Amino acid sequence: KLRDLYKYDLPKCLVWLRDRRVTKYLDFDLINIDLVQETRWLKTMQSSPNDYIFAIEKENGKHIGNIGLHRINWRDKNCMLGIFIGDIEDWNKGHGTDAIKTILKYAVDKLSLHKINLHVYEYNPRAIRTYEKCGFKKEGLLREGHYYNGKYWNVIVMGILDRDIKKFSD
């Protein structure tokens, strides 16, 4: 399930953001971030009319990751999706798929968005499969748009339209 992200969640988030197994899939490197910076980020997100962020929780209430709709363009009714499951032991268990389906329904039903976009690195086939399972389509490629581990990698551009989300969630 999704819930609001709170300041008390941030110490756990910092542990995840310092784990290279997690951050190699993110489009930012926050290995050296501290609690003050993370708190500032949370306040910025919470006060932004163009960002909605949530904690991802398991049924038992355990916070295992975060998901958000970012850079919402209200005129064009689109945004960027960001997600990570920070607890490694909770990877490959369907939590990301469930969180994505929930936030897509929220994006369409509550925010009236038309399109949700995302970028994913080609070396993350697990995420690509998850996005495709949730209805995202590959729309383009940013050739060698990401540098990681001594190599340039392609960035896959994916998107989903509101009508596809509605079909998927009916």
Catalytic residue positions, numbered = 131
CA 165 to mean position of chain CA atoms:
17
| Contact of 128 with 120, CB cutoff 8 Å | yes
What is the three-state SS of 48-96? CCCCEEEEEECCCCCEEEEEEEEEEECCCCEEEEEEEECCHHHCCCCHH
- Assess contact for 103 and 2: CB atoms under 8 A: yes
